[in-house]
Structure 1
């Protein structure tokens, strides 16, 4: 019996990968990874110089990305079929050998691998190697503490209706907004409505080549790449602890 080993690749910089993930990838003979159709794939790019000679690669190409509305029945059916088929292929492969599945960030934090993970239960031995979530790499690129004391950090998806974004933003301290891209104008309006736009940052391609860190108020939102995240630092519910000078 083999295993399906999902390696979390971290935020994008290969140097921020765990030692265990690095070791597993370099010794792998079978490697699978997600990618858009016709694209090399971000996960594959991260491990470009790590794969052993002769490794067998399994590009798992999404059947759709933005062609259909993500909440439409057609989109859900297409993706469900895709995950069903790949779960079967990976389970069959793992009957005789190990296969490493690559996943950006952490595999169990909004990752595509979660859809395979649920389908593989009872069909194969599955192990997950944790990775640094992309948002952690992004807020470290700003070089400012992100949360203080009792700050509540809220993670939102830019795909949410604007009214829901506003509602969550009104009560949160630190904010992480993922899945921006074409949703950035909606995110920008919601932050403006809640008075938080001036404190927001846009981080594009965090920790990767071409990284860009800019105040969101300086961006019109008409052109935002897929690998982008919006961050708003915490309000600081408790004062910073400082050393007192003895009298």
Structure 2
């Protein structure tokens, strides 16, 4: 039922080794030309990553995109795709928790090699990074206690609430646009905790996370999502001028066409949000 609700709102376990190898091996035959004219002037990101043998992926805790299983392994739709992409390059994916507000600094300082964490393609992001093609649709949605949901069914009705929002997030931008009061927290998972504990009256998080994290059968059965504040798209960010951007775009196309992207999406319940490559 939550998937149907998410579809209406948008209007719009890790993957097995066989799936990862299949998608990766298909992409090995692709020509990974430079994405931007600046790639020739800077050291090749592809060569840099292959030389050190790792692709360091900047993330936050964000189910169903990037989160840890019981053994501590990072899994999720984005995490599994990142592992497969790294494999196609002949390297290993490593996951690094970052402060979302410092993602560009982390990227430019080479603490990480890529930001891959359900990142909204805002104008600010696109000006600061070399971004992939969009691969998922999303929206920012308002989270409130289930027993109060009937009172908050449109944007006007939520303006007077106190919100918890992730620092540097698209959710923060939407709350600022509403003119509502808010408290910044480290990540969207913390924003949910703020509402569950009653510290904040509401939160704004990604709809894909909301579908996985709140409502009946989840850890936050007493919370629900109501108002959709926008529509947006996810992309992956590399350093400006990176030759890995076009490499990833070709990888996405191959994985979409051979069905691997859809199989991973179905495992994490995000298939309705996929964008054709």
Q: Is this a same-fold pair by TM over 0.5?
A: no
Q: Which of the pair has more CA radius of gyration? A: 1
TM-score by length of structure 1 reads 0.29
Higher helix proportion (structure 1 or 2): 2
